[in-house]
Amino acid sequence: MKKIVVLAGDGIGPEIMDSALRVLNAAAGTDGAAFSFDPQPFGGAALAIGDTPLPAKTLQACQEADAILLGAIGDPRWEKAAYTPEQGLLALRKALGLYANIRPIKVVDAVLHLSPIKESIVKGTDFVIVRELTSGIYFGEKAEEEDIAYDINRYARVEIERIIRQAFTIAQSRQKKVLSVDKANVLATSRLWRRIAEEVAKEFPDCQLTHQYVDSAAMKIMQQPTAFDVIVTENLFGDILSDEASVLPGSLGVLPSASHGVTGVSLYEPIHGSAPDIAGKNIANPVSMILSVVMMLRESFQMEALAATIETACFATMNAGILTQDLGGDATTDRFTAAVIARLGGKQDGKNAI
Ligand code: NAD
Ligand code: IPM
Ligand code: MN
């Protein structure tokens, strides 16, 4: 039995989580007993019932889980809280040592027509952003006073080494091309990053390492997205480049991610946020969450067949023109979910998953 902690979170988080778990239950059918779901309060949803976005009980459940699914956190209501939902998310990543955030950017042919970028440019796009997730400017010393503030960007050798190694390991099962993105013409941290990337590259003689400054990489992601295989970069650059890259498949609402770390438990979440502008309207695109479940099945549980079944049904639904508003369609979250379930080959509807 795989113990999955479910952090539905805020905004559209619970809506897309419900959809993804219904799809998982339906696909697993009678094998559904292979999973147990343990919902825990997190983010604004935890602040609504207590005084912290990351209750000790939630963290403990995560530490003891086989995998963690996270919807999204963040709510304008808690923007000025002493301890915000976002700080809770960073604390969770840090506590679990989730240093490697894997964000695949793939535009499959079935959904090519949904991209706002010309087909000739976007066709064949398939790269992975490997984002460092537990250090850098997010976690350096900071100060915030009335008229002055700062955030220190700090990286230690060991933090750079392990994320670069992770990128090469992923590249070995792909096209063996690693692009390290930095700002070495300005930042000391980037110069250290580049030097260590060169050192680590020697451990992977079958792979090729190149470097690019983040500003020009941002441009090239739109201009020639098929040129990339594995992009490895620091925390803040990875955050920004992955939202930018979401334009390629047509919406932020279709991109999943996996975060791996030092303790063995991994967390799976969409790259987008809680989308307060569309929350509670049954119009959120659940594809990002469904594909996060697919990543969990592959990367934590090695359940390739089940993962492929869900992924195929999800893309087939999109290809059939059943699309949520962010992709120009008019399907509700529920209708899209039902359509995916209908394509799962007659398995039962997984309603009331948790
Ligand atoms: P956002 O990612 O929530 O939304 C950006 C835009 O994309 C919005 O117009 C939204 O409607 C749309 N969008 C996002 N996901 C969608 C989906 N699944 N279907 C359809 N449309 C979708 O970013 P934001 O508005 O800048 O931030 C909102 C809140 O989310 C903030 O509190 C922020 O801190 C938080 N946030 C959380 C996470 C996380 O939980 N990992 C990630 C990013 C932002
Ligand atoms: C993400 C989000 C988070 C980040 C925020 C909500 C702290 O944007 O997961 O991409 O910046 O890492
Ligand atoms: Mn982000």
The three-state DSSP-derived secondary structure of 193-249 is HHHHHHHHHCCCCCCEEEEEEHHHHHHHHHHCHHHCCEEEECHHHHHHHHHHHCCCC
Does residue 44 lie in a domain region? yes
Q: Is the CB of 89 under 6 A from ligand 1?
A: yes
pLDDT band at residue 275, thresholds of 50, 70 and 90? very high
CA–CA gap between residue 90 and residue 282 (Å, rounded): 28
The answer as to whether 108 is a domain residue is no
286: exposed, middle or buried (C-beta count within 10 Å: 0-12, 13-18, 19+)?
buried
Supply the CATH number for residue 204's domain. 3.40.50
Round to whole Å and give the CA distance between 131 and 153: 15
Evaluate whether residue 115 is within a structural domain. Answer: no
Nearest ligand (C-alpha, residue 43): 1
Number of domains comprising the chain: 2
Q: Separation of 239 CA from ligand 2 center, angstroms?
A: 7
Q: Is residue 32 very low, low, confident or very high in pLDDT (cuts 50, 70, 90)?
A: low
**pLDDT value for 34:** 87
Coil/strand/helix, residue 26: helix
- The reported pLDDT for the residue numbered 352 is 42
183 classed as catalytic: yes
- Residue 340 confidence (pLDDT) above 80: yes
Mean pLDDT of 257-276: 96
Instruction: State the pLDDT at residue 190.
Output: 98
- 300 and 343 co-located in one domain: yes
Residue-range definition of the domain harbouring residue 353: 1-102+258-354
Q: How many CA atoms lie within 13 A of 317 on its CB side?
A: 32
Same domain, 276 and 239: no
Residues 176 and 234 in one domain: yes
User: Are 137 and 233 within one domain?
Assistant: yes
Q: Which tokens hold the place of 55?
A: 């209750």
| 261: region left, alpha or beta (phi > 0 left; psi from -120 to 50 alpha) | beta
**How confident is the model at residue 110, as a pLDDT?**
81
Do residues 132 and 43 both lie within one domain? no
CATH number at residue 266: 3.40.718.10
Asked, for residue 113, whether it belongs to a domain, the answer is no
Mean pLDDT of 62-70: 98
In a domain, residue 156? The reply is yes
Q: Whose CA is nearest to atom 40 of ligand 1?
A: 72
Task: Answer yes or no: do 229 and 311 share one domain.
Answer: no
In a domain, 83, yes or no: yes
Q: Is residue 120 assigned to a domain?
A: no
Tell me the pTM.
0.96
The residue from 209, 224, 247 where one domain ends is: 247
Same domain, 208 and 275: no
Task: Supply the pLDDT for residue 87.
Answer: 97
pLDDT at 350 over 60: no
Chain-centroid distance, C-alpha 45: 20
Q: Which of residues 201, 218, 247 is at a domain's end?
A: 247
Domain membership of residue 116 (yes or no) is no
Tens of pLDDT, residue by residue over 177-204, are 999 999 999 999 999 999 999 999 999 9
Among 9-18, 73-82, 97-106, 345-354, where is mean pLDDT lowest?
A: 345-354
> How far apart, in whole angstroms, are the C-alpha atoms of residue 93 and residue 136?
13
The verdict on 230 and 325 lying in the same domain is no
Our answer to whether residue 176 is catalytic in this structure is: no
Q: Ligand 3 centroid vs 345 CA: distance in angstroms?
A: 35
Domain termination site, one of 217, 247, 277:
247
Asked if residues 79 and 103 have their Cβ atoms less than 8 Å apart, the reply is: no
Mean pLDDT of 209-213: 98
Q: Are residues 138 and 189 in the same domain?
A: yes
Residue with tokens 């899209």: 336
Whether residue 7 is found in the same domain as residue 84: yes
CB-defined site of ligand 2, < 6 Å? 74, 86, 89-90, 239, 271, 273
Question: How far are the Cα atoms of 15, 100, 108, 219, 288 from residue 269, in angstroms, in the given order?
Answer: 14, 13, 20, 26, 8
**22, 337 contact by CB (below 8 A):** yes
Q: Are strands 149-151 and 142-144 parallel, antiparallel or unpaired?
A: antiparallel
C-alpha pair distances (Å), 253 with each of 67, 91, 247, 256, 273: 22, 24, 10, 9, 9
Q: How much is the CA Rg of the chain, to the nearest whole Å?
A: 20
Q: Say yes or no: 5 and 90 in one domain.
A: yes
Ligand 2 atom nearest 242 alpha carbon: 10
pLDDT, tens only, 152-184: 999 999 999 999 999 999 999 999 999 999 999
Same domain, residue pair 138 and 242: yes
Q: Which pLDDT does position 242 carry in this prediction?
A: 98
